[in-house]
Amino acid sequence: MSTTDTAHGWLSMDELSDVRERVPIVYVEAVPVKSDHLGRIEKVGLLLRQRPDGTIARALVSGRVLWGETIREALWRHLSKDLGPEAAPQLPGSPVPFTIAEYFPDDSRGTGFTDPRQHAVALVYLVPVEGECRPAEDALDLTWLSPAEVVRPEVAAELSGGQDRLVRLALAAAGSLP
């Protein structure tokens, strides 16, 4: 990001860092899934991306809600950005998250969700996708795993900041937790 683009709600990196030190930031997170005709989850999509500290980790679709942007618009923007323009995410008719995750720089508050950069509040959605998904923007890869595979300890260890718990919560909310 180069300069502030106030018309679109972007902050410069310095401004964002300053805000992150003072107020919680609102995020949307999505657990992308492929479902059968009855809505049963067959596959869960996990991104591979570089974290702010330079490490590589698996991740959910996630990003900030911009000033003046609706939750639906933010979800659509981040799903399209991370999964590609042909992903065809099926946004819920009512943008009610299945859970809310509150991230802190460390786990001293006991939420189980951490983000060393900030205090963030994330509205978390389970979003079926019907189109062709390809990692885009800063996503390095996209892997589709069955519910049984995605909850394996070795896969959970590849997710960071507590996102492994969000995957389990999503599967549980859909009645698909193995």
For 11-61, how does the pLDDT look when each residue is reduced to its tens digit (9 = 90+)? 888 888 888 888 889 999 999 999 999 999 999 999 999 887 788 999 999
Contact 59, 97 (CB under 8 A): no
If one counts the domains in the chain, the total is 1
CATH code, domain carrying 67: 3.90.79.10
Mean model confidence pLDDT for the chain: 90
pLDDT in tens, 94-119: 889 999 999 999 988 889 999 998 99
1 located within any domain? no
Judge whether residue 157 has pLDDT over 80. Answer: yes
132 located within any domain? yes
pLDDT value of residue 9? 61
92 located within any domain? yes
pLDDT value of residue 137? 78
Residue among 145, 76, 115 at smallest CA distance from 156: 145
Rg (alpha carbons) of the chain, rounded to whole number:
16
Judge whether residue 6 has pLDDT over 50. Answer: no
Q: pLDDT higher for 77 or 93?
A: 77
Instruction: Using pLDDT thresholds of 50, 70 and 90, give the confidence band for residue 143.
Output: very high
30 located within any domain? yes
pLDDT-wise least confident of 90-99, 144-153, 167-176: 90-99
Q: Which domain holds residue 123?
A: 24-173
**% of the chain at pLDDT higher than 90:** 72
129 located within any domain? yes
State pTM to two decimals.
0.88
19 located within any domain? no
Q: Measured between alpha carbons, how far is 177 from 167 in angstroms, rounded to an integer? A: 9
Pairing of strands 120-128, 25-35: parallel
87 located within any domain? yes
